[in-house]
Amino acid sequence: MSDEETEQGAGNVRAVLRAVDILKSFAGAPGPLSVTDIRRGVPLSRPTLYRLLDTLVAAEMLHVEGNPQRFRLGRMVALLGRSWSDQLTIDAVAKPIMNELRDRSGETCSLFELREERQFCVLESKSRQALSMSRGIGELTDGFHGASGIAILAWLDPARALELSRRTNPEDREPVTAAELAATREAGYAISHGAIYKGAASIAAPVFDRNGEVFGSLALFGPEARIRDEGLQDQITQLRAAAARLSADLGAPNAP
């Protein structure tokens, strides 16, 4: 390949990346954007920006209207969004992330979903170690008790969270408190020791959906002897990174 062809190819790749940056600038925008608005996030010269905008309009990725011109996302973006949604299955998205977290931490990784104001375990990647813990697939009978439930409640409206905790909590356990939820939200994760099974420990972080609302939580379960002391902070870091990655793959705009 000649130097001229290499330069042209590199320029084409840069043009694609710049076009993608333009489309990204519409994320979270309350309405159509002017050229000036777009240039704030994509600092290109006006001639280059107009060429890319014209191309995106021709491809129906953007729609232009008015004078002065204002741009909004086009119908092809909506079609691609629907296709993305149709192809999205929680198993396909979450399982690789969970298997990786299981292998790195050595502990069982479970995904919980908030569904009809109840907590369900929808996926598990079980630990390969001889001594391991598991919650099991299906609806949880202990309400939102334990780290996985608290990590969900902490990112709900406080009044709704406390009401859910009171209504679903087993009679022999104390409901979650407002202080506990506030501390969890500040930390970015929940941790429990012996909350469900004696001798077991769990850490959990929230998972968000494409609307930025709580989908559920991602949790690690294991014997207290392994989820403690010097290895705990590393497990927390791994868990939060995995939960943020899963949230992003589910389309969440801003995961903590």
Query: What is the chain's Cα-based Rg?
Result: 23
The predicted pLDDT at position 11 comes to 54
Burial 34-43 (b: 16+ CB within 10 A, else e): eeebbbeebe
Question: Do the bridges between strand 33-34 and strand 70-73 make them parallel or antiparallel, or are there none, so unpaired?
Answer: antiparallel
Q: Are residues 79 and 92 in the same domain?
A: no
Say how far apart CA 235 and CA 13 lie, in whole Å. Answer: 38
Which among 84, 110, 135 is the end of a domain?
Answer: 84
Question: Do the bridges between strand 62-65 and strand 70-73 make them parallel or antiparallel, or are there none, so unpaired?
Answer: antiparallel
Cβ burial, residue 223 (10 Å; 0-12/13-18/19+)? middle
CATH number of the domain at 73, please. 1.10.10.10
The predicted pLDDT at position 194 comes to 66
Q: Are residues 170 and 64 in the same domain?
A: no
Domain of residue 161, residue span: 88-249
Q: Are residues 17 and 45 in the same domain?
A: yes
The predicted pLDDT at position 187 comes to 94
The predicted pLDDT at position 57 comes to 93
Say how far apart CA 56 and CA 167 lie, in whole Å. Answer: 51
Q: Are residues 109 and 173 in the same domain?
A: yes
Say how far apart CA 221 and CA 200 lie, in whole Å. Answer: 7
**Residue 183, domain member (yes or no):** yes
Mean pLDDT by 10 residues, the chain (256 residues): 41 83 88 91 90 93 90 87 67 91 92 90 89 77 83 94 85 81 94 74 92 93 75 89 93 73
Angstrom distances, CA of residue 226 to CA of 127, 241, 247: 12, 20, 27
The predicted pLDDT at position 174 comes to 76
Q: Are residues 72 and 128 in the same domain?
A: no
The predicted pLDDT at position 158 comes to 92
Say how far apart CA 255 and CA 208 lie, in whole Å. Answer: 7
The predicted pLDDT at position 3 comes to 38
The answer to whether the beta carbons of residues 58 and 52 sit under 8 Å apart is: no
C-alpha dihedral over 184, 116, 246, 100, to 10 degrees? Answer: 90
Closest CA relative to residue 220, chosen from 113, 104, 120: 104
**Residue 20, domain member (yes or no):** yes
Say how far apart CA 247 and CA 111 lie, in whole Å. Answer: 12
Closest CA relative to residue 242, chosen from 108, 128, 113, 96: 96
C-alpha dihedral over 204, 209, 214, 218, to 10 degrees? Answer: -10
Count structural domains, the chain. 2
Which among 56, 84, 112 is the end of a domain?
Answer: 84
**Residue 254, domain member (yes or no):** no
The predicted pLDDT at position 251 comes to 85
